[in-house]
Structure 1
Amino acid sequence: MKIEIWSDVICPFCYIGKRNFEAALEQFEHKENLEVEWKSFQLDPTISELTAEGYHDYLTKRKNMSQEQVNGMLSNVTEMAKQSGLDYHLDQSVIVNSKKAHQFIQFAKSKNLGDQAEERLFLAFFTEGKNIADTETLVQLGLELGLDEIAVKSIFDDQSFEYEVAQDIQEAQNIGVTGVPFFLFDRKYAVSGAQPAEAFLETLNTSFEQWRKSNPEVVIQVSQGKSCSIEDGCD
């Protein structure tokens, strides 16, 4: 069963949602039957790749929030993250355009490393205060994931990955996604926002039960005779 997750790596609730979803997966007994795909979403594509500002300044200037409102919100989000086992340092986070980061994720997905790339970027942004629009930073993160340095450097000149980002964003608009994180289960059930693990587990069980009805488990009764196998040869 396929689960699609729209996320932006500068969204604090997306990392929390990821961790709560993973906690639900640990309790889900059929996780070997799941396929999870991360999809791109940009909360604010107007942010510059060059002008880096902190979370506090960004929310104060661009979202017209007071300093008291910003301080309270960031404190609440940090505590919420802590409850999910995450260590946020939002005072160090560098607000930049996330397009390059999403291109990086799309490339990693082509190497079956989509989840690992998403996790590494979240950690880089929310805990380590790294600039995720900086090419050299992304190259270093790619090397940590085992990706080829030259290949990573070429990502941002490859229109195919830019196209994949745009397609994910368009698809989100088509199905009515207006905020992230957004978890879509088998294109029938959805969880919006960083909900508790219990909510994810409930949706996992419900959606998988419906999916299993249309995709019954195949059980083959085998009558065994003399045969040859790859590992043991012929007996």
Structure 2
Amino acid sequence: MDVEIWSDIMCPFCYIGKRKFEHALSQFPHKDQVNIVWKSFQLNPDMQTEPGKNINQYLSEIKGWSLDEAKQMNDRVTAMAQEVGLSYDFDKAVVANSFDAHRLIQLAKQNGLGDAIEERLFKAYFTEGRDTSDHDTLVELGTEIGLDATVIQQMLAGTEFTEAVHGDVYEAQQVGARGVPFFVLNRRYAVSGAQQPETFLGALDTAWAEWAKTNPVIPQLTADGPTCTPGEIC
């Protein structure tokens, strides 16, 4: 059963929602048959990368808040993150356009590493204060999870996966996502926001019950024995 997750790496609730969903999934009896599909979503496609400015300053400017008000809000979010074991440092977070990071996510997905790159990018942005628009940084983060450095460099130098990112953003509109995180289960049920694990677990149970009706799982009652597989000489 597919669970599609629309997310932006600069969204603090997306990282928190990832942890809460993971907690729910760990309790789900059929977790081994759940396929997580990460989808791109840009909260601010026009954001200009400004390495010398942190998120507190950015929010103060675009929201018309004082710097203290922006910091207080982010302090509350930091406390929420701590509740699920995450460490946020908004004083270090770099204002950066996330488009190239999303292209890297698309490359990682193609190689079965979608979850790994999401996790690495979230940590780089919210905890380490890395510039996630910088190509050298993206190459480093991608190679850490097992991607080839040359492949990443070639991708970033061109326009590869641009349409894939735009396609995910368009698809978000079609499924009713107006913000992130946005979870779609079995293309039938949606959960919006960083909900509590109990909410995610209930959604998984409901979606699974419907999915299983048309995708029956054959139970294996005994341990594995000797078998022949296609292409083998037995």
After TM superposition, the score normalised by the length of structure 1 is 0.92
Give unmatched runs, 5+ long, in structure 2.
none
Who is 1:215 aligned against? 215
SS of equivalent residue, structure 1 residue 48: coil
2:59 counterpart letter in structure 1: L
Instruction: Provide runs of 4+ in structure 1 moved above 4 Å.
Output: 219-222, 226-230
Cα displacement (A) at 1:71: 2.1
Q: CA offset at residue 82 of structure 1?
A: 0.2
Once the two structures are TM-superposed, the CA of residue 197 in structure 1 deviates from its matched residue by: 0.9
Q: CA deviation at 1:146?
A: 1.6
> What is the rounded CA distance, in whole Å, between the counterparts of 2:156 and 2:176 in structure 1?
28
Whole-Å separation in 1 of the counterparts to 2:122 and 2:54? 16
Pairs aligned (count): 230
Letter of the aligned partner of 2:13 in structure 1? F
Structure 1 residue 177, shift from structure 2 partner: 1.0
By how many angstroms is 1:78 displaced? 0.2
| Mapping of residues 46-65 of structure 1, within 5 Å | 46-49=46-49, 52-65=52-65
Q: CA deviation at 1:196?
A: 1.0
Deviation at 1:63, TM superposition (A): 2.0
- Residue in 1 that maps onto 2:132: 132
Q: Given residue 76 of structure 2, which amino acid in structure 1 is its aligned partner?
A: N
Q: 1:118-157 maps to which residues of 2 (within 5 A)? A: 118-157=118-157
Gaps of 5+ in 1: none
Matching of residues 144-183 of structure 1 within 5 Å:
144-183=144-183
- Asked if the contact 1:53–1:96 (Cα under 8 Å) also holds between the matched residues in 2, the reply is no
Distance 1:52 1:175, change over 3 A: farther
Query: Relative to 1, partners in 2 of residues 1:220 and 1:199: Cα closer, same or farther, differing over 3 Å?
Result: closer
**2 CA distance for matches of 1:154 and 1:63?**
37
2:109 alignment partner in structure 1: 109
What amino acid is the match of 1:83?
Answer: E
Cα distance in 1 for partners of 2:196, 2:221 equals 41
1:45 paired to 2:45: yes
Contact kept, 8 Å, 2:96 with 2:133, in 1: the verdict is yes
Deviation string 1:57-79 (CA, Å, 9 cap, x unpaired) is 11010122233431221111000
User: How well do the aligned residues superpose, as a CA RMSD in angstroms?
Assistant: 2.1
Distance 1:2 1:128 in 2: 31
Report the CA distance between 1:228 and its aligned residue. 5.1
- TM-score, with length taken from structure 2: 0.92
Match of 1:72 in 2: 72
Query: Contact 2:50 / 2:95 at 8 angstroms: preserved in 1?
Result: no
Q: Quick check: 1:96 aligned with 2:92?
A: no
1:227 offset after TM fit, Å?
A: 7.6
Matched residue, 2:16: 16
From the CA coordinates, give the structure whose radius of gyration is larger: 1
